[in-house]
Amino acid sequence: MDTKRWKAAVRRGCVMAVAAVGAVVPVVAQAAPSGPDVSSWQHVDGRLIDWHAVRAAGHQFAMVKATEGLHYVNPYFVPDSILMRTAGVARGTYHYARPELPPEPQAALYAATVLGQNGPLDLPPVLDLEAPGGLSPAALVEWTHRYLNALQALTGRTPIIYTYPNFWKTAMADSNAFTRYPLWIADYSGNEHPEVPAGWPTWTFWQTTDRGSVPGIGGATDVNVYSGAQGDFARFANMSGLFGSS
């Protein structure tokens, strides 16, 4: 990561944190806790996200891409993490898996980048699994077990799995070997409930759209809701005693 770049980004973000943002059509308010997920793509023209505006729009959490494979770190991860905390937005972070590369070093890169996932306002770590990396279903299942075992050992928390129904059915052969992990499912079908892959009794997070509009974020962004499957959201996100669950 370019150190000068992210330090400058933090300084710009501190200004943005207290500045008003332009008019943006917000996502319709959800009864359940909701939040966007973002990567470098949401930093249009290098602009930082106004996380205070995100929180003011009613979103309690956000998922932020941290790493990918063995060599990529999101250049906006550090400023996003800092500014989310100042705004009281619970932080989820994820690693985009590259299964063509060994799993344990990827888990180590992610864990070193996020600097722990157990503090106040921290959701559990996330494995973003949507590329097979040329592996057969059996090999990909083994790769996923190895990554999740390493990640849990490094972070001390049970990871969340992000995926989408068709990928799980095909690339993972509809495996039911991972149902102890909370599920974050991407399903844009518009149905009342998302499709849940084999074995999982329910979903924990549902990515309902990849074309959401959220105040404080430039351009379209994914938007997610929390089901309550892991209990009270404030406890799940280590928010209890800080900002409550409202």
Mean pLDDT of the region 32-50: 96
| CATH T-level fold of 3-12+34-236 | TIM Barrel (3.20.20)
- Is residue 195 annotated as part of the catalytic site, yes or no? no
In the predicted model, is pLDDT for residue 29 greater than 70?
no
Q: Where are the domains of the chain?
A: 3-12+34-236
What is the band of 208 on the pLDDT scale with cuts at 50, 70, 90? very high
pLDDT tens digits for range 52-69: 999 999 999 999 999 999
Inter-residue contact 97 to 167 (CB < 8 Å): no
C-alpha dihedral sign at 32, 40, 109, 96: positive
What is the band of 242 on the pLDDT scale with cuts at 50, 70, 90? low
Q: Length of the chain in residues, anyone?
A: 246
- What whole-number distance in Å separates Cα of residue 154 and Cα of residue 107? 8
- Is residue 187 annotated as part of the catalytic site, yes or no? no
pLDDT tens digits for range 173-196: 999 999 999 999 999 999 999 999
- Is residue 130 annotated as part of the catalytic site, yes or no? yes
In the predicted model, is pLDDT for residue 112 greater than 90?
yes
In the predicted model, is pLDDT for residue 202 greater than 60?
yes
Question: Which listed residue (68, 80, 122, 128) is catalytic?
Answer: 128
Question: Which listed residue (37, 68, 80, 122) is catalytic?
Answer: 37
